Amino acid sequence: MEISASTGLPKISFVGIGTPILLVLILAMMTLPVPPFVLDILFSFNIALSLIVILVTVYTLRPLEFAAFPTVLLIATLLRLSLNVGSTRVVLLNGHNGPGAAGTVIESFGEVVVGGNYAVGLVVFAILVIINFVVVTKGAGRISEVSARFTLDAMPGKQMAIDADLNAGLLTQDEAKKRRLDVEMEADFYGAMDGASKFVRGDAIAGLLILFINIIGGIAIGMGQHDLDFGTAMQYYALLTIGDGLVAQIPALLLSTAAAIMVTRQNSDQDVGTQLVSQLFKDSKALIIAGSVLGLLGIIPGMPHIAFLTIAAACAGGAYLINQRQEDEKKQQLIEQDTVLPTAPKQSETRDLSWEDVQPVDPVGLEVGYRLIPLVDQAQDGTLMGRIKGVRKKLSQELGFLIPSVHIRDNLDLAPNAYKIILMGVTVGEAEIHPERELAINPGQVFGEIQGIKGKDPAFGLDAVWIEANVKDQAQSLGYTVVDASTVVATHLSQILQEHAYELIGHEEVEQLLKMLAQTAPKLVENLVPDILPLGILVKVLQNLLQEQVPIRDLRTIAETLAEYATRSQDPVVLTAATRIALSRMIVQNLNAGADEISVITLEPSLEQILLQSTQGSTEESAGIEPGLAERLQKSLQDVSQKQEIRGQTPVLLTAPTLRPMLSRFARFGVPNLHVLSYQEIPDSKQVKIVATVGQ
């Protein structure tokens, strides 16, 4: 509670009390008699509320900007029904006194709108109900139902698309969280609209029933209690009832139209009016043809010449203005693009070759076919450059060192839609994409097939279909993850850079890391390199860690561990094992997302003994497994790893410290999704659960 500084008393906030007051008024009108003067004010308020709601929907750019609309629709419907109850009470009690018995608003609608003729009023009321119930409400209800179903079906695909953008470095954690919240709010909104449309439909039916009940009840009361003849009773009560019905049906029609606009609204940076004008009158052809048809109708004898010819002239004038505007825009573009071409430089004198003619190899390169050039050309709104920058930033933060820049060039030797990713001058990945389409990836379970060009996801090899952009929502509703061509390339590049990160770090990069560490731990760096450990061995240890998918962000712990163990051994394998033990908490956290228990696969003691014997007296490079045993072991590990992944768990093999380097190298080439840990790498705070045991 907020306290006033001047009086010391609690401040009373009136923000947000309007809705509770309105609900209390609704209940009061249903139970207590309401004077005609108060009814006039409330009927006027109801009309004003309906106008405000429909105008807000017209100027809303996205449906979620008016997320409270289903609640507003429900409250407005209840208000209108309570007004019907209150006015019915007044009409039946005082209707024998004449058309002004229920207030001036009802009297005005009965006298002015329908000219005091209750027969005309019945026809007008029936037309309004038909328009509201049959046309607007029924169509809006159907759209709400379909939108809710497709929005809910599309949620998994949209969530996976957000995860794909997050993994590709295109989104930050906060942006991904906001987009996930928008997806949930969108599903809630369309689900609420589906229910709210049922209230609107029921309101239209209730208005029709109330009309007949009031007329029949009014005639019975007028003739039975107030001795009116049938004609007078019909005149009084029918006019009052029709006026009451019109006062209620016009706001109802406005709210039904607002609901229809809301559910048919597309996300855009323009409101409905601007969007309609820009799309209806974008091209002059439609106006020219319409004007010609109206002009021909206008010159036919017997036709209304003035009306048809006037509108035909207006269409012709509109077409002329549109053509004039398009020509002005073209001239402006030509002026902006008009640049002086540079003169060709004079041919330089022939010179001898030098070391400058020997170009160094780019650490990371991306070559694209000529049809993919727009993806990397920022002048053509290409987004791939920005996404590659996001990939580099994300991987640099995750791995702990700066990922080199990606050198992008076009290659006419490639197929038009092809690209290839190059590391140190060697092609490590290539694929063909369709830049004008989007890739619908099958994550493993979809609810139907979609038409398009069959293909594969280049990054993970999943089945996919290249689809047109206009069927993206349909694909997401079927469970596909839909991404654009730039995201496909960026994700493929991210996956390759992560797999080959150990090849991208060398002496220069390690020197930069040591300089950064020296700012916070100068003595540690000064004593470590080169006094205790040569720089080359430090580079090899960091490469070993990255090759085994261990980030090197915690460089201080790595350096302290190496400073301790380097005096005992200079073997990179031994130093890598010691460093992994020091980083065990981070390694295990990355594998089981911080859970207290880690599920592992172990080897049977007899198999472990055989493998231990094969490593005795051998180095890591010379140690090996008998071919037949290696084949059986590989198949067994693949089977149990697949079962772990189906359960949603990361497959982890727990083994003896002596065997870990050899089995890690074995799994890297045979079972790449399997992580190999030694007993010493399990922190004391973690519980180990053995889920499978692999034997011979």
Residue 573 lies in a domain: yes
SS3 category, 483: strand
List, as one string, the DSSP characters of 582-599. HTHHHHHHHHHTT-SEEE
What integer pLDDT is reported at residue 95 of this predicted model?
Answer: 67
Residue 383 lies in a domain: yes
What integer pLDDT is reported at residue 308 of this predicted model?
Answer: 78
Residue 587 lies in a domain: no
Same-domain pairing of 82 and 220: yes
Residues of the chain scoring pLDDT < 70: 1-16, 18-19, 95-103, 110-116, 118, 168-170, 265-279, 333-351, 617-624, 696
What integer pLDDT is reported at residue 297 of this predicted model?
Answer: 81
Q: Tell me the C-alpha distance between 445 and 161, whole Å.
A: 15
Same-domain pairing of 540 and 625: no
The domain of 696 spans 594-696
Same-domain pairing of 70 and 40: yes
What integer pLDDT is reported at residue 243 of this predicted model?
Answer: 77
Residue 382 lies in a domain: yes
Residue 12 lies in a domain: no
Same-domain pairing of 381 and 442: yes
Residue 124 lies in a domain: yes
Q: pLDDT for 67-88, tens place per residue?
A: 888 888 888 888 888 887 887 7
Same-domain pairing of 129 and 250: yes
What integer pLDDT is reported at residue 55 of this predicted model?
Answer: 85
Same-domain pairing of 598 and 652: yes
Q: Which phi and psi angles does 439 have, rounded to 5°? A: -100, 120
Q: Is residue 366 within 8 Å of 407, Cβ to Cβ?
A: yes
What CATH number did the domain enclosing 366 receive?
3.40.30.60
What CATH number did the domain enclosing 675 receive?
3.40.50.12790
Same-domain pairing of 494 and 600: no
Report pTM: 0.57
Same-domain pairing of 319 and 254: no
Same-domain pairing of 317 and 259: no
What integer pLDDT is reported at residue 453 of this predicted model?
Answer: 92
Long-range contacts of 573-580 (CB under 8 A, 24+ apart): 573/544, 573/620, 573/661, 575/537, 575/541, 576/541, 576/544, 576/545, 576/548, 576/661, 577/657, 577/660, 577/661, 577/678, 579/541, 579/545, 580/545, 580/548, 580/550, 580/678, 580/681
Among 557, 582, 607, the domain-final residue is 582
* Mean pLDDT computed over every residue of the chain: 81
Q: Tell me the C-alpha distance between 129 and 203, whole Å.
A: 10
Residue 336 lies in a domain: no
Q: Tell me the C-alpha distance between 81 and 105, whole Å.
A: 17
Q: Tell me the C-alpha distance between 362 and 426, whole Å.
A: 10
Same-domain pairing of 415 and 480: yes
User: Residue 434 has which token pair?
Assistant: 């369709």
How many domains is the chain partitioned into structurally? 5
Q: pLDDT for 3-34, tens place per residue?
A: 554 555 555 444 567 667 777 777 777 777 77
Same-domain pairing of 389 and 314: no
Same-domain pairing of 658 and 672: yes
Residue 2 lies in a domain: no
What integer pLDDT is reported at residue 112 of this predicted model?
Answer: 61
Q: Would strands 453-456 and 463-467 be described as parallel, antiparallel, or unpaired?
A: antiparallel
